[in-house]
Amino acid sequence: MKDSETLPLITRKAPIKYYHNQNVSRFERRRREKNKKQYYSRLEELNKLYEEDEKLMEGITKPEENEQSTDRLLANLSIALNLTLLFTNLLASILSGSLSIVSTFVDSLMDVTSSLIIGICLKLIKNTNMFNYPRGRNRLELVGVIICSILMGIANTLLVMESIRSIVGGDINPVMDVPTLSIMLGGSAVKVILCLICYRRG
């Protein structure tokens, strides 16, 4: 029996064969590295989801009241401005008879419709029952955006068809006077201001 003082403090063992990459092809090493990165990435994402679920169940995380109130204010302001632009663009379309101004009226109509759809989605998200929907219903906003995009696409397609019909028929006779020009410039200025506000809001 050997004396304990002569025994090594650390016993070194050969590395496991699976992790030994010297005899593995380059393609296999790259595949292993890629799989390892995906594994740790998904593990980190899963841990974050577990933490969020735990906080939601404990009632720790609540929507920030100030942020939501600001979003509601911007949404209401957007609806009010779009309703005003809707009627002014309708008046300008009647006065001018121009398809380009009719397109702005259709655009205003789509803005109002989009605001209503997004507002309904935000209200549904806010009133989500966390017991029935533990992960929330934040994806409803994306569904609303998809619906708005489809409606805008249909409206633009109809405008293109009407423009082609007017070109073929030769019945193009727009009238551009001072009231119509003032309405269009005022609407553009309002949209630019609203765009800057929303951009600064993020």
Q: In the prediction, which pLDDT does 16 show?
A: 47
Residue 12 placed within a domain: no
Cα separation, 44 vs 38, whole angstroms: 10
Composition of the chain by helix, strand, coil, percent to 5: 75, 0, 25
* pLDDT of 15 over the 60 cut: no
Please state whether 136 falls in left (phi above 0), alpha (psi between -120 and 50) or beta. left
Q: Among 55-59, 63-67, 76-80, 118-122, which stretch is predicted with the lowest mean pLDDT? A: 63-67
* pLDDT of 19 over the 70 cut: no
Say whether both 138 and 52 belong to one domain.
Answer: no
Average pLDDT (64-70) is: 60
Average pLDDT (156-160) is: 85
Say whether both 116 and 183 belong to one domain.
Answer: yes
Say whether both 168 and 104 belong to one domain.
Answer: yes
Q: What is the mean pLDDT of the chain?
A: 74
% of the chain beyond a pLDDT of 70: 73
Say whether both 196 and 152 belong to one domain.
Answer: yes
Say whether both 53 and 75 belong to one domain.
Answer: no
**Boundary of a domain, candidates 58, 90, 109:** 58
Say whether both 105 and 135 belong to one domain.
Answer: yes
pLDDT tens digits along 108-129? 788 778 878 887 888 877 777 6
Residue 6 placed within a domain: no
Cα separation, 167 vs 161, whole angstroms: 10
Residue 52 placed within a domain: yes
Say whether both 38 and 75 belong to one domain.
Answer: no
Say whether both 126 and 76 belong to one domain.
Answer: yes
Say whether both 72 and 52 belong to one domain.
Answer: no
Give the global pTM.
Answer: 0.50
In angstroms, how far is the first alpha carbon of the chain from the final one?
75
Instruction: State the total domains in the chain.
Output: 2
Cα separation, 184 vs 180, whole angstroms: 6
Between 21 and 32, the more confident residue is 32
Residue 10 placed within a domain: no
Say whether both 25 and 53 belong to one domain.
Answer: yes
Residue 4 placed within a domain: no
* Helical axes 178-201 vs 65-96, angle rounded to 10°: 160
Residue 162 placed within a domain: yes
Cα separation, 171 vs 169, whole angstroms: 6
Say whether both 85 and 175 belong to one domain.
Answer: yes
* pLDDT of 20 over the 70 cut: no
* 77 token code pair: 């302001």
Residue 98 placed within a domain: yes
**Boundary of a domain, candidates 58, 75, 107:** 58
Say whether both 124 and 179 belong to one domain.
Answer: yes
Side-chain-side CA neighbours of residue 123 (13 Å): 8
Residue 87 placed within a domain: yes
Q: In the prediction, which pLDDT does 132 show?
A: 67
- Print the domain residue range for 186: 65-201
Average pLDDT (45-73) is: 68
